[in-house]
Structure 1
């Protein structure tokens, strides 16, 4: 037995507390939870439990000026994500709270119970100009805790009341619980949904995204949303070389069968602490090809684990990237699919007169 081989943390994506973060003054090597390493002290490990802490934020609407992102504002009712996707580019945000982007990110979660009220306040401010609000840009709005907190549903309700356009990105079929609201939003051209499908292999999905719904459940959600008249897009994201890329054509063929016509893909990105966590995951689950995977990733990212530059961060370069693009275009052409840009209606926006957050002068409009 190789005592130096990395051990596996079951039912979680990250395999450690983390590898020190950029904002950790003490440069700790664990996430501070004794249960993560209790096996080295007292025998069998204790099951890691998910905790949710209420966060009473002062605002909920975030704005960005990134030139290569298709939205300028977003809303996130949760911090951290129990899905535990090892590749999640949002993991580094937990470092701002002196928590690890590793196991803390998927076990120590935050919920903002005032999210709907704060959104009403933001929309009711004098001079506010509507543009689509993006939900799910940081952590998944339909991760498991949404079942109890229902914050994403409350945000959709606010958008419906104000006729405000919204986009939703998720990898969960839990979004179907809000199909009633999504139908009404879609009738007014106010919503578009994107669901990511990384692989059709349920076993591989369990390793990559241990607490996310299975690929088949996501395909079902895509089909049901389409049938309900909700504009829907399938994101094959991320594509991981030598791990998931061999399933690209099968995913495209499958979504074509269920009537989805809009599809896109994004090769894996490994910003900040995600890179060492991902390498650790490879060492645990795919030690035979870990070096190959990282070599291909670096070949697309200018010789680095990650390229943070605008535009090129979303458009990797090199032979492998060109081959992937050619495969994607060929598969889409055969299946009759194409990238589609959903245009949402901003002209309907109006503050309801019965909103307590609305200033009196806005209520009179």
Structure 2
């Protein structure tokens, strides 16, 4: 059942990490939602976490960074396709509605980052933000954790990249513009559809697409290298917009554009199927049929490299259309190298001698 203002249609649980699932036992709770509908007024709550470290390292060969920071756990944007949803199962919470409404914040992140950058063995490399959950989701307005992280990175001359689907990134342009001028920052705005009805359905609490494109224009005017991410592309729902999205990215002044076919790892696949049944029952079978064709006959392909681009005729058709559109609109997806030679570790209690 579709829930107004939310992406997931329910709170599907996970067996992978011990999250219990209620089994039908014949009482009235078995049919509660069918009779009464979902609980009204699902509110967002935020719990503070106190991790011991804040930089996460990876060795994945098909992504362009080896470290990242996630200021928040869960994401109120509610994007149904979000590949980060399964991470909520680590907290014994549902990757469904819990992921969108029971959030976690890491208020100590700036202090932890400062401490980690001070370690004698630290080797500088671009830090990616927004790789798991959005650093500028609504709760950032109150918690300002992303802002604090940027302040530490700006102070130390440390490079970073940001991926977001909100124009809230503009609140930190006073930090990003000077960093970009030094070759220390790049931003990607995610825009998956230009159709308001579709955008509201797949990303119910994210800003409208035109606001994100306006942010691209403003960032470029401030000198920040800015890309547009068409990720994910959902076949038979958003893939027909690919050429229009590339054109909109070029018109907004983006220096590049990229796309990724939809991925459905772990608990995301059944959540996505339930969402299709609620919002697009007329084409649910077609959508999943194309996804399985792209993913080698499965709902998801976890293999390195292939997971990011897909395989088969449908995936090749998407790539061909995308490259033609980029050439038509003059979008050359050049690499933007970020400088690492400007980094200076934070000062502790002992001031620098030189």
Aligned to 1:251: 245
SS in 2 for 1:313: helix
The CA distance in 2 between the partners of 1:124 and 1:181, in whole Å, is: 21
Q: Please show how residues 102-141 of structure 1 align to structure 2 within 5 Å.
A: 102-141=96-135
Q: Distance in 1 between matches of 2:159 and 2:38?
A: 50
In the TM superposition, residue 21 of structure 1 has moved relative to its aligned partner by 3.9
Deviations 1:225-271 (A, max 9, x none): 00000010101110000000000011111121222231111010000
**Residue aligning to 1:237:** 231
1:335 Cα deviation from its structure 2 partner: 0.5
Structure 2 match to 1:306: 300
1:3 equivalent in structure 2:
none
1:28 is displaced (CA, Å) by 4.1
Give the TM-score of the pair, scaled to structure 1: 0.92
Contact 1:238 1:265 in 2 (8 A): yes
Q: Deviations over 1:79-120 (max 9, x none)?
A: 000000000000000001100000000000000110000000
TM-score, normalising length: structure 2? 0.95
Paired position in structure 2 for 1:199 = 193
Q: 1:266 aligns with which of 252, 260, 267?
A: 260
Determine which of 306, 314, 331 is the counterpart of 1:337: 331
| Deviation beyond 3 Å, 4+ runs, structure 1 | 27-30, 37-45, 362-365
Displacement of 1:69: 1.1
Structure 1: how far apart are the matches of 2:222 and 2:228? 16
Quickly say closer, same or farther: Cα 1:25–1:186, change in 2 above 3 A: closer
* Correspondence for 1:57 among 51, 54, 57: 51
> Could you report, residue by residue, the CA deviation over 1:17-60 in whole angstroms, capped at 9, with x for unpaired residues?
01434213534479xxxx9x965576773210000001011110
Structure 2, unpaired ranges of 5+: none
For residues 218 and 38 of structure 1, what CA distance do their matches in structure 2 show? 39
Q: Secondary structure of 2:309's partner?
A: coil
Give the alignment partner of residue 81 of structure 1, picking from 61, 75, 81: 75
For 1:328, the equivalent position in structure 2 comes to: 322
CA contact (8 A) 2:3 2:38 kept: no
Q: Match for residue 5 of structure 2? A: 11
Alignment of 1:142-161 (within 5 A): 142-161=136-155
* CA 21–219 in structure 1, closer or farther in 2 if over 3 Å, else same: farther
Structure 1 residues not aligned, in runs of 5+: 1-6
- What SS is found at the alignment partner of 2:192? coil
* Superimposed CA distance per residue, residues 180-203 of structure 1 (whole angstroms, 9 cap, x where no aligned partner): 000111111100001110000111
3-state SS, counterpart of residue 314 of structure 1: helix
Structure 2 counterpart SS, 1:168? strand
Q: Please show how residues 288-299 of structure 1 align to structure 2 within 5 Å.
A: 288-299=282-293
In structure 1, the residue corresponding to 2:305 is in which secondary structure? coil
Separation in structure 1 between the aligned mates of residue 239 and residue 7 of structure 2, nearest angstrom: 19
